[in-house]
Structure 1
Amino acid sequence: MSEDNTTTKEQADSKKQPLEPLPHTVAKQYVWQGPDGAKIPYTATAEMIPVRHDDGAPMGHMFMFSQVCDDAPADDRPVTFCWNGGPGGASYMVNIGGMGAKRVKTDGMAHLKGVGEVEDNPYSLLPNSDLVFIDAFGTGYSHVDPNYDAKKVWGVDGDADAFTRGIIEWLTEHKRFNSPLYLYGESYGTMRNAVVYRMLGEHGIGVTGVIEQSTILDYAPTLSGNDAYYMGMVPVYAATANYFGKAGAGEDQFKWYNKAFDFVNSTLAGALVLGDELPASRMDQIAGQMSELIGLPKEFIVSKGLRIELDTFRKNLLKDEGKTTGRYDTRFTTYAYQDVQGDNEFFAGEDPSYDAINAAYLDVYMKMLSDMGFTGYENYEGLSMKVNEAWNWNHQAPGTMGSPQTPNVAFDLATALRRNPTSRILFLGGIHDAATPYWNVRHDMSKMFLPQELKNRIEYQLYSNGHMLYCDDVALAAAGAELNAFYNKRHED
């Protein structure tokens, strides 16, 4: 008789090993020096923060990397919690590439060498706020407890709940309750921001400000054939065509972008709604206007029914040069793939604007942690496809019924602002961002029908960058002034 290899749940649970021993907390003192010679002494701390459920059961440990000013009074010193998106992305990019005290120097649209050059970040948020960079569960060094179901935290609501708990735990551990609290998210991190903003309020914790960089609030435009997708892309296409000299030669980049923005609202939106009921003569006329804006032939646009997919645009704008453009930042280019390599799924995932920076960013970040004495685990998950593919998109927004798998967290953002009308929201967009087009967030927020008093608490800023603001020094310099003003507004109310 063969041996019975079945395993009971109790036996399986008993084999699960806890996450202990955890890497020890490490801290190191530094001095940040700004471009004007100003100096800020600060302590960088790498630590694993325990996150627990209401019943005390451990959910796991979140890796948090903080940079805290050593000589500023904590009562008026803001603390900003920062993260990237994905879902499945760790927070190293917004740290070592973007808002942290140190960064990897950029080189325009050039592909960075594997060995990144590090400098004190002249655009860091540190002069305005202490910083805490958090890795989502299953990313970076953050680990779900082996006795906890990871599916509970790999989803819109579970993820936001875990971050809310993690933030509260950090505030408790570091005795920072009643400090001005800010949230800074990029990409999917802006969706996380919206829900965490609401959830923190429901836990009795006030949020002073929310910063949304490269925002996506409504996931419906990611569905096949959604008209809002095509509308949002056209201004990005126009800015890209202008950058490469394919349209609007000699025109200011922002004027050209805004011209396309207005075209979408005044002309394209109504045409897309009509579909194939749009008269042929009108189709031809609109395609001609669109061709002038985005640099593709009128006949080609007509053949696509005015609906130009991003991959179609990326493949065709620079086709005569044998190149394709980026997605996160459409100004980056790479050599075009031959058809044998060019299936849609593969091509959609190829992005020269990501390839150009990722290795340098991650290598520098790992060295920085190592130099501090934090060894972490065997592998730092910069981008976990396991988390991404397991994501639960169900989300019941406040005031709605059901839990659609295409979440719209603009409702969460608007609800949180209504409940906390002294808080502020700042949207930072880029004209070359084809991952989270700026047109869409303006459209999404316009449907919230907020009263003017609350609309006055929201700011929209548009720059020359793509998805990663920190890849563009010109945009960073402009955004730095806006961010400084945003933080200072906490004293105006």
Structure 2
Amino acid sequence: MTDETTTKTTEAPKPAPEAKPADASKKMTWKGDGESIDYTAYAELLPVRDKDNAFIGNMFMFSQVADMDDTSDRPVTFCWNGGPGGASYMVNIGGMGARRVPDDGEKHINGVGKLEDNPYTLLRASDLVFIDAFGTGYSRVDPSYDGKKVWGVDGDGDAFVRGIIAWLRKHNRFNSPLYLYGESYGTMRNAVVYRMLGEHGVGVRGVIEQSTILDYAPTLSGNDAYYLGMTPVYAATAAYFGKAGEGYTEHQWFDKAFEFVDNTLSQAITMGDRLPQERMKAVANEMSELIGLPAEFIMAKGLRIELDTFRKNLLKDEGKTLGRYDMRFTTYAYQDVQGDNEFYAGEDPSYDGINSAYLDGYMHMLHDEIGFEGFENYEPLSLKVNMDWNWNHQAPGTMGSPQTPDVAFDIATALRRNPTSRILFFGGIHDAATPYWNVRHDMGKLFLPAELKDRIEYHVHSNGHMAYADLKALQAMSPELMAFYDKRHTPVE
């Protein structure tokens, strides 16, 4: 007789979730130019469950809600940043929330983030709800749930839809006009959430896309649309630094380069080495005049100027390099020993210049002004979420799930299903992260009927990626936003 021993393997117990901090709220008053708004600020962790009723975790939402008895015509706008992996503090404390950290132009903000009532806050037109994506900020995925299920284009969109519905239910606001405000990857999230909310029976009145990316194909190496989209940004930046465009404003020079891309560069660059040498020389000369780099240098690159190449070379003689989010920001060039491409691509003085002051101001507002305890750590940008992101996305009416998503189809499908809604695109002439030319190109490929195109508007300003970090842009955007919200009262013809 033989004894048999069966070895069983057991999984290590998952850690218990952190104790959930108590929600907090406080009555506050915003004061602007001769006007004031009494509002309540809420810092809340709302439980969110997936379609199978499994508990995903607690989603952090910071909201500013005007104190009104009748909210039937008071909009609610859900706001977020991008990444993916970014929390929502920047769009809040930077420019749309009731409190703001003032910028210092294209300079690093000196010292801690000082708060002031924001003269340009969107609170004047709408209640605001700023949501941190799961795994970012204070939004925690429960240890029993696989975070990778919500770290992807579709899982993230579904989680946000469920979070929005949870907030609407808790605050009894299903009958209020609903708007979405996204920046950067948040604009891609906007497109998906816009469509998904409709599929859940929740109507969206308006969508605001700031610093938009809809199609990720131009982020792939060697994609022609990448070089085309970057060229007007290079031109505006060259004009800003006095390297090109003498006698023109930066906007005029940007528009001139935009026209050059449409009418000249797009044909030349798609021909590759089939382009006759004399024609390449002529195009390179025109491009050199626009972007401030030598024609011979441009020809040697086959008319394809990478972002990091431009950042390193425009002010090379001054020993400086340029920003990515906002190319007007500069810092001191790295030595060759620090010339690793991946390292350099991640260095950005336009992010460094505002991030710590923004986060400092936001923590002060949450903890000291509102009285929210929070967790020990606030995750402003989670590289884990970013690295684990699932880019697969099957757009409506397409086959398969490519890893380079194009959500222009989502935004068009949502608009077709909800033709009384509106879309507003904000672009910046110094934004090298999400170039404005690509947005117009992506939307142009949809061939929407005139009736739907009339529901879309485009505005371009002086800013880089974070429009709220540019006071001139914020001032220009403010009346455009107010007018956009007022259009909900315009009858549909």
Q: What SS is found at the alignment partner of 1:401?
A: coil
Structure 2 match to 1:381: 379
Aligned to 1:24: 22
* Aligned partner letter, 1:296: L
CA–CA distance in 1 between the matches of 2:486 and 2:8?
A: 62
CA contact (8 A) 2:113 2:359 kept: no
1:54 positional shift? 2.6
Matched, 1:69 2:66: yes
- Supply the distance in 2 between the matched residues of 1:176 and 1:474 (Cα, whole angstroms): 34
Deviation at 1:412, TM superposition (A): 0.1
Q: 1:374: how far off?
A: 1.2
| Aligned positions of 1:196-211 closer than 5 A | 196-211=193-208
For residues 484 and 432 of structure 2, the distance between their equivalents in structure 1, rounded to whole angstroms, comes to 26
Are the equivalent residues in 1 in contact too, given 2:44–2:62 (CA < 8 A)? yes
Partner of 1:288: 285
Aligned partner of 2:297: which letter?
F
CA shift, 1:21, in A, is: 3.0
Amino acid at match of 1:109: E
CA displacement 1:68-103 (0-9 Å, x = unmatched)? 001362110000000000000000000011200001
Distance 1:50 1:112 in 2: 36
Q: Quick one: which amino acid aligns to residue 423 of structure 1?
A: S
Partner of 1:260: 257
How many pairs does the alignment contain? 486
Partner of 1:223: 220
Say yes or no: does 1:349 pair with 2:346. Answer: yes
- CA gap 1:261/1:5 in 2 versus in 1, 3 angstroms: farther
Note the C-alpha offset of 1:250: 2.3
CA shift in 2, pair 1:58/1:256, >3 Å? same
Whether 1:233 and 2:235 are equivalent positions in the alignment is: no
Q: Which amino acid aligns with 1:8?
A: T
Alpha-carbon spacing, 1:205–1:409, altered in 2? closer, same or farther (3 Å): same
Aligned to 2:126: 129
Contact 2:43 2:372 in 1 (8 A): yes
Q: Work out whether 1:93 is the aligned partner of 2:95.
A: no
Which secondary structure state, in structure 2, belongs to the residue aligned with residue 82 of structure 1?
strand
Code of the residue aligned with 2:374 in structure 1: it is G
- What's 1:448 paired with? 446
Q: Where does 1:115-264 land on structure 2 (aligned, <5 Å)?
A: 115-264=112-261
The one-letter amino acid paired with 1:308 is I
Distance 2:191 2:233 in 1: 24
Q: Secondary structure at the match of 2:423?
A: strand
Between the aligned partners of 1:377 and 1:117, the Cα distance in structure 2 is 23
Matches within 5 A, 1:393-412: 393-412=391-410
In the alignment, residue 114 of structure 2 is paired with which amino acid?
Answer: E
RMSD between aligned residues: 1.3
Larger mean Cα displacement after TM superposition, 337-346 or 391-400: 337-346
Alignment of 1:455-474 (within 5 A): 455-474=453-472
The 3 A distance-change label for structure 1 pair 474 and 405 is same
Residue equivalent to 1:430: 428
**1:42-57 to 2 correspondences below 5 Å:** 42-57=39-54
Question: Which residue does the alignment assign to 1:60?
Answer: 57
**Aligned equivalent of 2:364:** 367
How high is the TM-score relative to the length of structure 2?
Answer: 0.97
| 2: CA distance, partners of 1:280 / 1:361 | 50
Q: Which residue in the other structure is 2:80 paired with?
A: 83
Q: Which stretches in structure 1 are left out of the alignment for 5+ residues?
A: none
Q: What residue identity is the alignment partner of 1:477?
A: Q
Query: Following superposition, which runs of at least 4 residues in structure 1 exceed 4 angstroms of deviation?
Result: 4-7
Secondary structure, counterpart of 2:122 in structure 1:
coil
Q: Which residue of 1 aligns with 2:3?
A: none
- Equivalent residue of 2:39, what SS? strand
Shift of 1:116: 1.4
- Alpha-carbon distance in 2 for matches of 1:112, 1:438: 26
Distance 1:72 1:442, change over 3 A: farther
Secondary structure of the structure 1 residue equivalent to 2:123:
coil
Distance 1:177 1:246, change over 3 A: same
User: Equivalent residue for 1:391?
Assistant: 389
Change in 2 beyond 3 A, CA 1:173/1:246: same
1:33 equivalent in structure 2: 31
> Secondary structure at the residue paired with 1:434?
coil
Deviations 1:136-187 (A, max 9, x none): 0000010111111111000000000000000000000110002000000000
| Secondary structure of 1:461's aligned partner | strand
1:395 alignment partner AA: H
Structure 2 CA distance for partners of 1:381 and 1:234, relative to 1, 3 Å: same
TM-score (norm 1): 0.97
In the aligned structure 2, how far is the partner of 1:55 from the partner of 1:83? Answer: 26
Task: Using the TM superposition, name which of 72-81 and 184-193 deviates more.
Answer: 72-81
